[in-house]
Amino acid sequence: MHRTPSPGAAHEGLDAVLTHLERLKSLNLASGNDLVVKRRLLDLYFAADPTILDAHCRVEPLLIPTRAGVIAAERVRPAETDDTPSRRLLYIHGGSWIAGSPASHRPLTARLARACQAEVIAIDYRLAPESPFPAGLEDCLDAWHWLCREHPDDGLLLAGDSAGGNLTLACVDVLKREARRLPEAVLAFSPATDQSWESDSLTRKADVDPILDASLLPRLTRLYLGQSAAEPGDPRVSPIEGDLAGLPPTLIQCGEAEILLDDSRRYAEQAQQSGSPVKLSLWADMPHVFVGFAPLLGAANRALEEIARFADEHCAARSA
């Protein structure tokens, strides 16, 4: 396990990020049960500073076929290069399974494209409660199969944050059980791994988490599952319940000032005990999905450097 020290340049920009997240949390609570308003607020998750939103990327819309029809997606590349990417990365956005989009996460996907030297495919999978489990997971799996068909000879990565991190790790579980192609490397940022919500950090970190409210999490799971017969103990819902042997190289980055800390810690520890190459990278005093606040947040910039090294180590560039 890698842990960053508390003092130093990593904390540059942190006060502005915390102020932004605390305001979002307050507004989210004040919005009551208005799902449309909550979605618009979560679309602004990374909007702590203009430098974050100015991601300097090229975006190309596309459609991806799925078993239910098609979903929208976007290709993201850095604006400053015309080079053909050496890797492809399928990105699954967060948003509590009820919100978020490729557009809301474009600041992060653009910077992941640079860090990983990859073309990022960010997907607009179906959301609860309109489309409860397993709709979103099926969209993610279908998008992965499409990517494998379209680019069979490329290095392929799979990544996601928060609820998208949950779906990322759930996809890996399904792919492994079905003996399908696995990603060369997996990136998970503050993933929710246990929807029974049994991690100790849900209470231990409640006073320092600026954005997440543990009391709301069980309701999100109910919205996500809808009328499905699936239970929180299903590994497609809680990846920590799956067989964690034989996983691809996986980097989990998580802040130590968030209630989902132990979801990352427990998943990584169980995977490591099962012999899987899972690296847990914990960042002192950082909030939920802090990597998305680059370049304002010093720790986020360093986290992207770690991601670049991990991608280079585990996902070979495409051969000419």
Catalytic residues: 162, 258, 288
CA neighbor of 251 nearest in space, from 280, 276, 283: 280
Q: What is the four-CA torsion angle of 233, 210, 162, 4, rounded to 10 degrees? A: -110
Place of tokens 């459609």: 63
- Provide CB contacts within 8 A for 16, sequence distance 6+: 48, 49, 296
122: which strand partners?
74, 91
d(CA 17, CA 12): 10
CB atoms within 10 A of CB 284: 16
DSSP readout, 157-212? EEEEETHHHHHHHHHHHHHHHTTPPPPSEEEEES----TT---THHHHTTTT-SS-
Q: In which residue are the tokens 């929180």 written?
A: 232
Asked whether the beta carbons of 208 and 259 are under 8 A apart, the reply is no
* 89, 76 contact by CB (below 8 A): no
Say which DSSP state 12 is in. Answer: T
